[in-house]
Amino acid sequence: MANELSKPFEKSALSEEDLYKMNKEKKVQITSFAFMIFLTFLAFIAVATEMVAPAFAVPFILVLAGMQFFLQMFYFMHLKDKGHEWANTFIIAGVVLSTPALIALTFLLGMTKY
């Protein structure tokens, strides 16, 4: 059994339709990569050139980071695909649990001490 599993394959079982879908998906991912680069540029430009008012820059770049998080998770890490229900559950639970922890730590350390 274990031997069977460690044998390479001569060909791929992908059908024409599978290949078509895969190439389409690949295009979507390359587009999302281009979008991520664009978002990164935007964030750096917003801070470097001070085009955006400083008070607005922080929420602005945080939103950009949130968008990149979404793109990475759902497109690069396939969270949007079928069969990722539990993966979604875990990562959403992680984000939900860590948000109050992060806010609490920031306030606790930042406001009590300084």
Partner 1 sequence: MADHVDMTKGLPSNPEKATLEGRNKFLGFWIFLSGETIMFATFFGAFLGLREGTAGGPTAEELFQLPLVFIMTMLLLTSSLTSVLAMYAMKRNNFKAMMIWMSTTVLLGLAFLGLEIYEFVEYVHHGLGYTTSAFGSSFYTLVGLHGAHVVFGLAWISTLLIRYAKSGITLTNAPKFYVASLYWHFIDVVWVFIFTVVYLMGIGGA
Residue list 7-46, contact with partner 1 (CB under 8 A): 7-14, 18-19, 22, 26, 29-30, 33, 36-37, 40, 43-44, 46
Nearest of 39, 70, 43 to residue 58 by alpha carbon: 43
Residues 76-95 that bind partner 1 (CB under 8 A): 76-77, 83, 86-87, 90-91, 93-95
Alpha helices, H only, 49-114? 54-71, 85-113
Does residue 57 interact with partner 1 by CB under 8 A?
yes
* Residues whose CB is less than 8 angstroms from the CB of residue 28 and which lie 6 or more positions away in sequence, other chains included: 75
The helix-helix angle for 16-48 and 54-71 (nearest 10°) equals 170
**# residues near partner 1 by CB under 8 A:** 66
The residue among 76, 74, 94 whose CA lies nearest residue 84 is 74
Q: Which residues bind partner 1 (CB under 8 A)?
A: 1-2, 4-14, 18-19, 22, 26, 29-30, 33, 36-37, 40, 43-44, 46-48, 50, 54-55, 57-58, 61-62, 64-65, 68-69, 72-73, 76-77, 83, 86-87, 90-91, 93-95, 97-99, 101-110, 113-114
